[in-house]
Amino acid sequence: DAGVTQSPTHLIKTRGQQVTLRCSPKSGHDTVSWYQQALGQGPQFIFQYYEEEERQRGNFPDRFSGHQFPNYSSELNVNALLLGDSALYLCASSLRGYYGYTFGSGTRLTVV
Amino acid sequence: AQSVTQLDSQVPVFEEAPVELRCNYSSSVSVYLFWYVQYPNQGLQLLLKYLSGSTLVKGINGFEAEFNKSQTSFHLRKPSVHISDTAEYFCAVSDLEYGNKLVFGAGTILRVKS
């Protein structure tokens, strides 16, 4: 039973560049949430997608955007990267109406 | 607004000793509560959750937690720890709104020593 798959696992970008992170949810899940985990901190909620629409958003600037596809997979896009965007980005999937979140192993983004 | 406070950033403990990781939350509405574990360079794994019912919740790997509404706490306990329990533990809260986000604490690093 495949869990949540995130790609890539690591990447390095330069300030000002743009990045796209990808997430495939657990089989049977229809909702995808993204979290940012800076070093030494707890994960912070970025946004949640359901039925291809952004349903909730945390306190992140609009440089952070996302998309959900008909197969429930999702992308997180970050534009105009800042050094402070360096973090572990976690994707969590769930089934709408149920409190069972499954997290992926994350994408480690380093901005230099 | 919701918030979670994990009262200890690090907890050192000897193998086979008991441990308690403390978590307090703040919310204006009824909540769901969670404990997750994160091993180095990995994602989050759910240990246990409180949604309703009995305030004593049992999870995986011998962990349990007790929901105390009057003290707004959800402390995690294990009667006897193993070296393999060394990891970072996160307490999280979500309110009862349908499909709402998780709000996490800053984490507690549990270091089990032999």
Q: Please indicate if any CB of chain B lies within 8 Å of the CB of A104.
A: yes
Q: Which residue ranges of chain B lie beneath pLDDT 50?
A: none
**Residue B113 C-alpha, separation from nearest chain A C-alpha, in angstroms:** 21
B-side interface with A, Cβ within 8 Å? 4, 32, 36, 41-46, 49, 51, 90, 92, 94, 98-107
Given this model, what pLDDT does residue B68 score?
A: 93
Q: Helix, strand or coil for residue A29?
A: coil
Interface probe with A: pick from B44, B46, B91, B98, most Cβ of A within 10 Å: B44
Given this model, what pLDDT does residue A2 score?
A: 65
Given this model, what pLDDT does residue A99 score?
A: 76
Q: Helix, strand or coil for residue A17?
A: coil
Nearest CA-CA partner of A35 in A79, A99, A87: A87
Compute the average pLDDT of residues A69-96.
96
CB pairs under 8 A between A and B: 60
Given this model, what pLDDT does residue A34 score?
A: 98
Given this model, what pLDDT does residue B101 score?
A: 87
Compute the average pLDDT of residues A55-63.
94
Q: Which residue of B has its CA nearest to A104?
A: B43
Nearest CA-CA partner of B4 in A42, A35, A59, A60: A42
Using an 8 Å CB-CB cutoff, list chain B residues near A104: 43
| Bigger pLDDT: A70 vs A96 | A70
A30 contacts A24 by C-beta, under 8 angstroms: no
Given this model, what pLDDT does residue B30 score?
A: 78
Please name the member of A35, A97, A105 whose beta carbon is closest to the beta carbon of B98. Answer: A97
Q: Please indicate if any CB of chain B lies within 8 Å of the CB of A97.
A: yes
Given this model, what pLDDT does residue B42 score?
A: 86
**Mean model confidence pLDDT for chain A:** 95
A7-47 per-position pLDDT tens digit: 999 999 999 999 999 999 999 999 999 999 999 899 999 99
Contact call for A106 and B104, based on CB within 8 A: no
Given this model, what pLDDT does residue A1 score?
A: 55
pLDDT category of residue A107 using cuts at 50, 70 and 90: very high
